A and B are shown apart, each in its own frame.
Chain A
Amino acid sequence: MAANPMSQFDVYRIGPEIKVGAFDISFTNASLFMILSTVSILLVFNLGSKKNSILPNKIQLLAELSYTFVSKMISDTAGSKAKPYFAFIFSLFMFVLFCNMFGMIPYTFTVTSHIIVTFVLAAFIFIGVTVIGFIKHGFGYLKLFVPSGVPAVLLPLIVVIEIISYLSRPISLSVRLFANMMAGHTMMKVFGGFVISLGIVGGWLPLSFSVALTGLEILVAFLQAYVFAILTCIYLNDALNLHH
């Protein structure tokens, strides 16, 4: 396991095999880290909202700063109409962030480095946003694909491009997160491998690189969670405030 940089992404069963009909829903290391992330988020925010003191303590400050951060992000990108979706985007941001951050601890598993996980999240967002758009605007939502101020000659081409870009949203959203996570972790593993193979003489260079990469990866972990959440907000904005 140690030598292969891709083996860190292996999913393996923990405990017995659980089958429901034809489906295998066994408890795996991925499930473990999903539960760990969820429990940590709930713990932090439960502690942070328990007491209401005028001068917040550290954990309360953390919870309230996260709340206002996400709240501001949503109101900046999607306006006041997006308020009912605050809880969803907040959960999404925190879930992705905690999964990414848990992945930064050595010997852990990164839930978000699996395309299936990010794709399910992105597909859910895509379907949800499309449904919201059609509920809010009816078939007028299709005007999203017809930008205003485009010459009539170019219109068929533009509409096709718009439709393709709209349909590729879940793919770009999920692949962006998955690829970033996987690439970063693979890189770290590769450089870690170099440290071992070059030994005490030449291992210092990849080691320093590895340290720098760790910092970068922590930044990427936060940034990708933020990008995931803010793109969700932008898609939601398209559905809520149709203006093209």
Chain B
Amino acid sequence: MIKKIYFQSIFFSFFFIKATFAAESGGMPQLNPEFWVSQIFWLVLTFGILYLVLSKLILPKISNNLESRKSQILENIEAAEKQRDDSDAKLQEYDEIISKSKLEANSIFNQAREKAIKDIGAKREVLDNQIDNEIAEAEKEINSLRKSAPDKINKIAIETSSQLLQKLIGAEVNNSSISAIVDDLCKRNGDKYYGN
């Protein structure tokens, strides 16, 4: 539609031009062959030079630039990918080192624990021995004390009885007769008192 109007207006403008300027102009200058040869000559010359310079010098350079950019971008992408692979490998290596050192640390810890447990056991044994010895000594002492106890008690009983009799009766009683009685009593009742 717009095109139609456009061409119509061109058409009418030609009428207008013809009507107005027919007198002073000799028609279209394009149809005047005076400079045709000159125009052809200069067209061939300039276009020929343009074609030669563009095709031999400039276009190969532009195509080269585009190619080299393309290849450089590809190269960079390749390099980046290689670096990524490298870093992945390094990361894996690092992980391996960490897991290895974890294992090592674990084994060291276990060893230390075992050693500590062993040490503790040895020390306990020594202590146990010492304690046993001391207990045995104490028992021996107790036994000796227990053995000597009835004699002392008898002696105390004899003295206490003689003094008691003296206070009660007022007469001297022979110690030997009392001790005989105490011994006799001890023999009869000793089991009851000492639990032997």
Closest-CB distance, A172 to chain B (whole angstroms) = 16
Which residues of the other chain, B, contact A224 by a CB distance below 8 angstroms?
A: none
Is A52 in the interface zone, CB < 8 Å from B? yes
Given known contacts A11-B39, A23-B37, A113-B30, A67 and B47 CB-to-CB distance under 8 angstroms: no
- Scan residues 159-212 of chain A and give those whose CB is less than 8 A from a CB of chain B: 178, 182-183, 186-187, 190
Which residues of the other chain, A, contact B38 by a CB distance below 8 angstroms?
A: 11, 24-28, 30-31
Alpha-carbon distance between A48 and B37 when the two chains are bound, in angstroms = 34
What is the size, in residues, of chain A's interface with B at 8 Å between Cβ atoms? 56
- Scan residues 66-91 of chain B and give those whose CB is less than 8 A from a CB of chain A: 66, 68-69, 72-73
Contact B17–A42 (Cβ < 8 Å): no
Give A contacts to B, CB under 8 Å: 3-7, 9-11, 13, 23-28, 30-31, 34-35, 37-38, 41-42, 45-46, 48-49, 52, 54, 60, 63-64, 67-68, 86-88, 90-91, 94-95, 111, 113-117, 120-121, 178, 182-183, 186-187, 190, 216
Contact A91–B50 (Cβ < 8 Å): yes
Closest to A44 in B: B58
Closest-CB distance, B175 to chain A (whole angstroms) = 132
Contact B47–A91 (Cβ < 8 Å): yes
Contact A30–B35 (Cβ < 8 Å): yes
User: Given B10, B16, B25, B30, which contacts A7 in the complex, CB threshold below 8 Å?
Assistant: B25
Contact A42–B50 (Cβ < 8 Å): yes
13 contacts between A and B (CB under 8 A): A3-B24, A5-B13, A6-B17, A6-B27, A9-B30, A24-B34, A31-B46, A48-B62, A52-B64, A54-B73, A87-B59, A95-B50, A190-B13
Contact A186–B43 (Cβ < 8 Å): no
Is B40 in the interface zone, CB < 8 Å from A? yes
The 7 lowest CB-CB distance pairs between A and B, nearest first, are A87-B55, A31-B42, A49-B61, A34-B46, A52-B65, A25-B41, A183-B10
Encoded as 1 (CB less than 8 Å from any A CB) or 0, chain B from 22 to 60 comes to 001101111110111111111110110111011101110
Contact A30–B10 (Cβ < 8 Å): no
Alpha-carbon distance between A178 and B43 when the two chains are bound, in angstroms = 15
Which residues of the other chain, A, contact B50 by a CB distance below 8 angstroms?
A: 38, 41-42, 91, 94-95
Closest-CB distance, B9 to chain A (whole angstroms) = 7
Is B109 in the interface zone, CB < 8 Å from A? no
Contact B62–A54 (Cβ < 8 Å): no
